[in-house]
Amino acid sequence: MSRLIVVSNRVSAPKDPAAGSAGGLAMALSAALRKYEGLWFGWSGETVERFTGELNIEDRAGVTVATVDLEPQDVDEYYNGYANKTLWPLFHHRVDLTAYERSYGEGYERTNRRFAEVLQPLLQPDDVIWIHDYHMIPMARDLRRLGVKNRIGFFLHTPWPARQLLVTLPHHRRLVKSMFHFDLLGFQTREWMELFQRYVEVEAKGVVGPGGRVEAFDRSVQLGVFPIGIDVDGFLAARDSLLGQKTYDRIAASAAFRSMIVGVDRLDYSKGLEQRLLGYEQFLEDNPSMRGDVFLLQVTPISRDDVDTYQDIRARLDALAGRINGAYADMDWQPIRYLNRTFRRDQLAGIYRAARVGLVTPLRDGMNLVAKEYVAAQNPDDPGVLILSRFAGAAEQMGEALLVNPFSREELSDAIHKALTMPREERIRKWKALMQVVRDTDVAHWRDQFVRALIN
Ligand code: F6P
């Protein structure tokens, strides 16, 4: 087929896929591009005093990557500003944390225009363009203004917000209108897609046709649900690698027959980490006899640390983990091991495998691939139990997990107790059903379904 041009803000194809510690989006996109010929375009992550549009092109593990440096002002207004202080909190239902600054919106528009101007000369007539995530919503409109006629698809990795919240954004209509320059809009779940449809019906007097075509703003666009998945075989290979095995053995030795509960999340307020620690504290309170037999390994790499709301949540988590450890620890036992660092994928796979419980409790999340990785890493004859927030996109597919309301500390405490005491047959039955879903809707399935829908 024609070339696939993948566009995303962060371009982080790992040089060695087993070593990669990149987030879900980056891992999924590098897997996508290893199958299709093409290139991956986006921000280099670097700044330059004056924007030149000069491209850095390199080959990373068989993927051609083309990036541009941005000006510090672009990074402030577009990435830290509109993307991470405006759209991210808004799309995760946190209007209380959303910044509504005019300069951020202007920087976002300017930077998207810059991306479009740099990408346009690289395009060939048959190329299929696939743009990712909230950083780049207006880019199809900007490419069309430059005369680009190619098929252009968009996939939103985050949730789409409820209409009542989206309308708090100045120029919300302009943002949504720009999306009608795509040929296909992909969402993680039916719920996010229906929220988009509702906005269009109410705010733009649009019409939702059969088969998911939506008409508004004198244009039309096809909608679809494409739940993202993981590279199951790659992840199993990482788990069974020497380092994956060693990590498993190391944890088993250090756990000394205690049950490990694991959480792995970027340090982000959307992940429900405070509520999770409070729920775990409640569990310790409710079950004095289980103290000392269990511990929580919470792996939380620092993220977006230039943004004040992220600094705030970091300080609150430091205090909370310290308080709970101070209150409950014994001379030879600590209830929480709280780590602000990343691990290689093979190590992570070993960690998940060693955990009796996987705790994935975001307050709102587009999909959440930790849930899928946790399931994939389990021992089939003695699997652990996944506790999953009902507000993660993954809950739409993973109903066999213990679904919880992450805002309720009592519910979290009860779920942890239930998971730790669940009989083996029940664990195996649930795991089999979950593993089937993880396998059937892996990353290749996601990519192929989206690309097929885009070229049709
Ligand atoms: O969709 C959210 C997301 O793009 C994830 O896929 C990814 O793990 C994370 O955000 C990375 O955020 P950032 O690029 O700001 O570090």
Q: Tell me the ipTM for this assembly.
A: 0.93
Q: Give me the pLDDT at residue 439, please.
A: 98
Report CA(369)–ligand 1 centroid distance (Å). 12
Higher pLDDT, 19 or 65: 65
CA distance readout (Å), 400 to 233, 357, 434: 22, 14, 6
pLDDT at residue 14 is higher than 80: no
The token pair at 320 is: 């909370």
- Predicted confidence band of residue 27 (pLDDT cuts 50, 70, 90): confident
- Closest atom of ligand 1 to 10 CA is 14
Q: Give the contacts of 436 (CB within 8 A, at least 6 positions apart).
A: none
Instruction: Determine the atom of ligand 1 nearest the C-alpha atom of 133.
Output: 1
Q: Is 132 a catalytic residue?
A: no
User: Which of the following is catalytic: 142, 183, 365, 442?
Assistant: 365
In angstroms, the CA 180 to CA 223 distance is 10
23 has a pLDDT exceeding 80? no
The pTM assigned to this predicted structure is: 0.96
**C-alpha–C-alpha distance, residues 215 and 226, integer Å:** 20
Instruction: Return the residue matching tokens 């909190």.
Output: 89
Q: What is the pLDDT of residue 184?
A: 98
pLDDT at 212 over 80: yes
What's the confidence (pLDDT) of residue 1? Answer: 66
pLDDT tens digits along 231-249:
999 999 999 999 999 999 9
CA-based nearest residue to 394, from 358, 354, 353: 358
Cα(91) to centroid of ligand 1, in Å?
Answer: 13
Residue 431 parent element (H or E)? helix 424-440
pLDDT the model gives residue 34: 78
Going from the Cα of 97 to the center of ligand 1, the distance in angstroms, rounded, reads 18
Residue 214 has pLDDT above 70, yes or no: yes
Q: What is the largest CA-CA distance in the chain?
A: 69
Domains and CATH numbers, the chain: 4-225 (3.40.50.2000), 232-440 (3.40.50.2000)
More confident residue, 391 or 33: 391
For 7, the enclosing helix (H) or strand (E) is strand 4-10
Ligand 1 geometric centre to CA of 270 (Å): 12
Ligand 1 closest atom vs CA 28: 6
In angstroms, the CA 152 to CA 254 distance is 50
Q: Would you state the structure tokens that stand for residue 204, as one six-digit string?
A: 């733009």
Torsion sign across C-alpha atoms 428, 430, 433, 438: negative
Neighbours of 201 (CB within 10 A): 15
What tokens does 150 get? 């190619």
Written as six digits, the tokens of 278 are 């409070």
Other CB atoms within 10 A of residue 286 CB:
14
Tell me: pLDDT of 54 over 70.
yes
CB 146 within 8 A of CB 57: no
Which of the residues 157, 231, 265, 346 is marked catalytic? 157
Mean pLDDT across the chain, nearest whole number? Answer: 95
Position 205 scores a pLDDT of 97
What lies within 8 Å, CB to CB, of 218 at 6+ separation is: none
Summarize the confidence of residues 45-66 as an average pLDDT: 93
Residue nearest to atom 6 of ligand 1 (CA): 25
Tell me, yes or no, if 365 is annotated catalytic. Answer: yes
33 pLDDT tier (thresholds 50, 70, 90): confident
pLDDT for the residue 251: 96
Atom of ligand 1 nearest to the CA of 366: 1
> pLDDT tens-digit profile of 132-188?
999 999 999 999 999 999 999 999 999 999 999 999 999 999 999 999 999 999 999
DSSP code at position 138: T
What percent of the chain clears pLDDT 70, i.e. is strictly above it? 97
Ligand 1: centre distance to CA 52 (Å): 26
Is pLDDT above 60 for 20?
Answer: no
Which residue has a Cα nearest atom 1 of ligand 1?
157
| Predicted pLDDT of residue 182 | 98
Look at residues 171, 170, 152, 172 and name the one whose alpha carbon lies nearest to residue 160.
172
Q: Is the pLDDT of residue 35 over 90?
A: no
Tell whether the model's pLDDT for residue 62 goes beyond 90: no
| Pocket of ligand 1, beta carbon within 6 A | 10, 23-25, 133, 157-158, 303-304, 366
Q: Which helix (H) or strand (E) holds 61?
A: none
Work out the pLDDT band at 61, boundaries 50, 70, 90: confident
Closest to 300 (Cα-Cα) out of 346, 339, 357, 349: 339
